[in-house]
């Protein structure tokens, strides 16, 4: 939002106008609206009040009122700021031509209008005019060298244009930037977090905290902090921050949209859908809300309903790559989807997009055109891997430390008594190895609650919830506790159970599953906290496992996932650690092979139920009929009856993946 000089206002009105702007900038929209209306009662044709009231309506999602006010203010005064903000409304409505015309008119009035150039760069980027976009962002930096958002967007465009050297220079400019105001701390934090290089996420969070400390009323800074936590997969923390913001101002549409998407990630779909539907009452063409509704249908297995909504979104916005991606995950594609595929490929050709590449990879895999599928998957992973750096030496050192510290004697020494009323079952192993399928089977039992991928073990093992921890590092944290009071282990176990019990509101439930695959790193401490717990280790053909990981657009926590050579390194270390745990706890762990579930379904399901000391229920064989939310990449698969096409899937790609074939040759079975 840009400020404009007030016109025809006396001192009292100027003070009121400034108050309204402060309220608007901090997200207190109702109070701001009231103040603007008070001024307009005295001076009905004040263009500034009319215009910024229009901006306020835009923030609330009332687009009709926003447009009326924008047009009226421009009739009263041809102000570059007015034209710029009106262009943003046209851009939001996907009326790119009108948006560009308005911005060019704004620039004609004020050639050094950095914000107009910035918005022009964004529109050109969205429409695939990348050279024009690059030129526009360069103009922004020419007129405002402190414009961090423009620097970051310039980097993205340069990467898409394969201007590697230019991109490196832009990264250097971003990393060398020294913020000096809350706005700069805020913008730099977002840019650094999205660079995803050199583990700078914590630096980004530190910058945002600095922005908040200097401007505690900045709703935008809190919002950015919540967004960072979502990107780190810390959705519970993000949810907490969004709820703090909404307590202060509940009418900020964009924040409500982000909050609803966060709720969907935590499994609170009913609450999320309520928010999306409320937004759609005032803004029936809000495509973010429609995508959210469609995604919620998909997560509970209502694939046909989700498909209808995605198709409706695409009719309204033929470039909406999020809707295309969602559609690709609702069913298996066939030749009848040729028009959709053609449109997607046109979009991707104009503007490279990670989400689009992964969606097209999935589609061509459905069509069994494997050469095209792997090409798109490689392109998507290549873009992700540009910024996500997997440190081989650091990871091997971590595995060495875990094995060295968590030997049999140490685990026995720190073990606590396991007499808790709620019994957790830990389903772990490599991602894409069948953990979602196993949890779906178990959660079909009336005494089991499927908790999904819970992040608590990682945080507990790192001492995040402890006040007296000397170090936050895992596993080295435990070296500091070997000769001290070991009550912290019991406390950690109780903390974990308190966290997971919040999900259970049925007294019949006595077991909760935690299917976070990465818990394999913490298995020694899991058995220290819960010596009698059940652990199911899911296994799958190593090449199928790694290829399936490569085919998923995972969050950046999986730094190894976007390069086949890195996947080989990671898998060998994962296997080495699992062999260590099995040497210590083999009799306590049930290993379930994905291939065995597919080939001998009832036998393996009965083994799983028996191992967990549960009575047999026929529903466990009808797991695909469950309506529970599944917020993982396996969502579509586990909502179908067992099928065998995923078994030895890698052989379809054998000639295209020499890195995996050669690197994992020791694991290939004849």
**Rounded Cα distance, 83 and 71, in Å:** 9
Is residue 331 a contact partner of residue 350, using CB atoms and an 8 Å limit? no
Q: Six-digit token pair at 30? A: 């109702």
Please state whether the peptide bond connecting residue 53 to the residue before it is cis, i.e. omega within 30 degrees of 0. Answer: no
Residues 163, 165, 170, 171, Cα dihedral to 10°: 110
Give the Cα separation of 577 and 583 in Å (integer): 10
CB 493 within 8 A of CB 416: yes
- Cα(496)–Cα(423) distance, integer angstroms: 11
CA 529 to chain centre: 30
pLDDT for the residue 1: 43
Q: Does domain 393-667 have CATH number 3.30.420.40?
A: no
Domain boundaries, the chain: 393-667
Read off the pLDDT of each residue in 536-557 and give the average, rounded to a whole number: 92
Supply the pTM of this predicted model. 0.82
How does DSSP classify residue 464? T
**Residue 389 φ/ψ, nearest 5 degrees:** -105, 115
Average pLDDT over residues 121-133: 93
**Mean pLDDT over residues 633-650, rounded?**
58
Residue 546: the pLDDT is: 96
2 pLDDT band, cuts 50/70/90, is: very low
Q: The sheet that has 448-450: what strands, in order across it?
A: 448-450, 511-514, 423-429, 534-539, 589-593
Give the pLDDT band of residue 261 (cuts 50, 70, 90). Answer: very high
Q: What's the CA gap between 551 and 324, in Å, rounded?
A: 17
| pLDDT the model gives residue 612 | 95
Residue 361: what pLDDT?
97
Query: Both tokens of residue 545?
Result: 């496992």
Query: Mean of the pLDDT values across residues 389-409?
Result: 94
pLDDT of 484 above 90: no
- For the residues 26-42, what does the mean pLDDT come to? 90
Tell me, what's the pLDDT at 536?
A: 97
DSSP string for 120-135? HHHHHHHTT-HHHHHH
pLDDT at 9 over 90: no
Kindly state the tokens that stand for 407.
């030997």
Burial 337-351 (b: 16+ CB within 10 A, else e): beebbeebeebbeeb
Q: Would you give the DSSP letter of residue 112? A: T
| pLDDT tens digits for range 331-360 | 899 988 899 999 999 999 988 999 999 999
- R_g over Cα of the chain: 27
Q: Where are the beta strands (DSSP E) in 23-117?
A: none
Shortest CA distance to 573 belongs to which of 409, 448, 390, 314?
390
Distance, in Å, from the CA atom of 557 to the CA atom of 564, rounded to the nearest integer, reads 16
d(CA 620, CA 618): 5
CB contact set of 225 (below 8 Å; sequence gap of 6+): 205, 208, 209, 212, 241
Taking 80 as the threshold, does the pLDDT of residue 555 lie above it? no
Instruction: Inform me whether the pLDDT recorded for 390 exceeds 80.
Output: yes
- CB contact set of 200 (below 8 Å; sequence gap of 6+): 192, 193
Model confidence band, residue 467 (pLDDT cutoffs 50, 70, 90): low
pLDDT band at 643; cut points 50, 70, 90: low
Of 257-271, 412-426, 582-596, 620-634, minimum mean pLDDT range: 620-634
Contact 536, 611 (CB under 8 A): yes
Q: What does the pLDDT read at residue 433?
A: 92
Cβ contact 569:392 at 8 Å: yes
Distance of alpha carbon 16 from its chain centroid, rounded? Answer: 40
- The most confident of the ranges 201-215, 221-235, 289-303 is 289-303
State the pLDDT confidence band at 4, using cuts at 50, 70 and 90.
very low
pLDDT at 636: 43
pLDDT at 326 over 50: yes
pLDDT score for 479: 80
Is residue 628 over pLDDT 90?
no
Query: Up-side HSE of residue 95: CA atoms within 13 Å toward CB?
Result: 12
Closest by CA position to 363, among listed 333, 387, 403: 333
Asked if residue 277 has pLDDT above 90, the reply is: yes
Please give the pLDDT value at position 393: 94
Q: pLDDT at residue 207 above 90?
A: no
Residue 573 exposure: Cα atoms within 13 Å on the Cβ side: 22
The partner residues of 449 in beta bridges, in order of sequence, read 512
Instruction: Provide the strand spans (E) within 376-491.
Output: 423-429, 448-450
Residue 265: per-residue pLDDT: 86
pLDDT of residue 197: 56
Selected residue with higher pLDDT from 235 and 580: 580
Q: To the nearest whole number, what is the mean pLDDT of the chain?
A: 88
pLDDT tens digits for range 559-577: 899 999 999 999 999 999 9
Q: What is the pLDDT of residue 215?
A: 82
Query: Is 377 in a helix, a strand, or coil?
Result: helix
Say if residue 5's pLDDT is above 50: no
Do 460 and 531 contact (CB within 8 A), yes or no? Answer: no
Predicted pLDDT at 300: 85
Q: For residue 475, is the peptide bond before it cis, meaning its omega torsion is within 30 degrees of 0?
A: yes
**pLDDT greater than 90 at residue 610:** yes
State phi, psi for 129 to the nearest 5 degrees: -90, 75
Q: Please state which of the ranges 161-170, 173-182, 522-531, 612-621 shows the lowest mean pLDDT.
A: 173-182
pLDDT tens-digit profile of 285-325?
A: 899 999 999 999 998 889 999 999 999 999 999 999 999 99
How is residue 34 annotated by DSSP? H
Closest listed residue to residue 333, CA positions, set 299, 373, 365: 365
Alpha carbon distance 161, 337 (integer Å)? 29
Residue 178 clears pLDDT 60, i.e. is over it: yes
- Max intra-chain CA distance, the chain: 87
């Amino acid at each position: 939002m840009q400020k404009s000089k007030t016109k025809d206002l006396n001192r009292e009105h100027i003070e009121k106008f400034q108050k309204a702007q402060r309220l608007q900038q901090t997200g207190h929209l109702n109070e701001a609206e009231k103040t603007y209306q008070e001024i307009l009662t005295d001076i009905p044709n004040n263009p500034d009040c009319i215009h910024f009231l229009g901006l306020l309506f835009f923030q609330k999602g009332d687009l009709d009122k926003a447009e009326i006010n924008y047009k009226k203010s421009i009739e009263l005064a041809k102000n570059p700021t007015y034209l710029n903000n009106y262009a943003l409304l046209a851009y939001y409505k996907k009326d790119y031509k009108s948006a560009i015309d308005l911005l060019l008119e704004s620039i004609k009035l004020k050639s050094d209008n950095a914000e107009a150039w910035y918005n022009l760069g964004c529109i050109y980027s969205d429409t695939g005019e990348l050279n024009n976009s690059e030129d526009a962002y360069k103009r922004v930096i020419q007129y405002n060298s402190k414009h961090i958002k423009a620097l970051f967007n310039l980097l993205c465009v340069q990467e898409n244009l394969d201007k590697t050297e230019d991109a490196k220079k832009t990264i250097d400019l971003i990393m060398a930037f020294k913020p000096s105001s809350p706005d700069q701390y805020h913008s730099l934090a977002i840019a650094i977090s999205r660079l995803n290089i050199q583990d700078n996420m914590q630096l980004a969070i530190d910058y945002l905290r600095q922005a908040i400390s200097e401007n505690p009323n900045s709703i935008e800074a809190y919002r950015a902090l919540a967004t960072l936590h979502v990107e780190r997969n810390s959705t519970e923390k993000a949810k907490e921050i969004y709820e703090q913001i909404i307590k202060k101002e509940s009418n900020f549409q964009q924040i409500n949209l982000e909050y609803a998407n966060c709720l969907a990630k935590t499994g609170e779909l009913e609450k999320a859908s309520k928010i999306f539907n409320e937004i759609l009452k005032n803004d029936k063409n809000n495509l973010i809300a429609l995508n959210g509704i469609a995604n919620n249908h998909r997560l509970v297995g209502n694939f046909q309903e989700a498909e209808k909504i995605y198709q409706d979104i695409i009719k309204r916005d033929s470039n909406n790559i999020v809707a295309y991606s969602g559609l690709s995950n609702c069913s298996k594609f066939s030749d009848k989807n040729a028009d959709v595929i053609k449109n997607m490929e046109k979009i991707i050709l104009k503007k490279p997009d990670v989400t689009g590449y992964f969606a097209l990879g999935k589609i061509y895999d459905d069509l069994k055109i494997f050469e095209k599928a792997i090409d798109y998957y490689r392109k998507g992973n290549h873009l992700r891997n540009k910024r996500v750096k997997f440190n081989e030496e650091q990871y091997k050192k971590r595995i060495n430390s875990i094995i060295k510290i968590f030997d049999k004697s140490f685990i026995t020494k720190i073990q606590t008594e396991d007499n808790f009323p709620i019994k957790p079952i830990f389903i772990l192993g490599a991602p894409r190895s069948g953990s979602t399928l196993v949890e779906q089977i178990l959660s079909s039992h009336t005494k089991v609650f499927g908790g999904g991928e819970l992040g608590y073990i990682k945080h507990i093992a790192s001492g995040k919830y402890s006040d007296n921890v000397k170090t936050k590092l895992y596993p080295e944290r435990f070296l500091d506790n070997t000769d001290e009071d070991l009550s912290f282990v019991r406390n950690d176990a109780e903390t974990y159970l308190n966290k997971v019990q919040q999900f259970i509101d049925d007294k019949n439930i006595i077991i909760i599953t935690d299917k976070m695959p990465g818990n394999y790193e913490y298995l020694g401490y899991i058995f220290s906290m819960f010596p009698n717990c059940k652990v199911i280790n899911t296994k799958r053909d190593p090449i199928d496992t790694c290829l399936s990981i490569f085919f998923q657009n995972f969050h950046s926590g999986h730094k190894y996932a976007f390069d086949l050579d890195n996947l080989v390194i990671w898998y060998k270390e994962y296997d080495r650690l699992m062999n260590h745990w099995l040497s210590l706890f083999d009799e306590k762990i049930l290993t379930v092979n994905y291939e065995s579930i597919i080939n001998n379904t009832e036998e393996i399901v009965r083994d799983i139920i028996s191992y967990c000391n549960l009575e047999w229920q026929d529903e466990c064989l009808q797991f695909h009929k469950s309506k529970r939310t599944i917020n993982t990449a396996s969502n579509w698969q586990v909502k179908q009856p067992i099928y065998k096409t995923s078994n030895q899937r890698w052989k379809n790609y054998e000639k295209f993946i020499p890195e995996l074939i050669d690197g994992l040759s020791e694991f290939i079975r004849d």
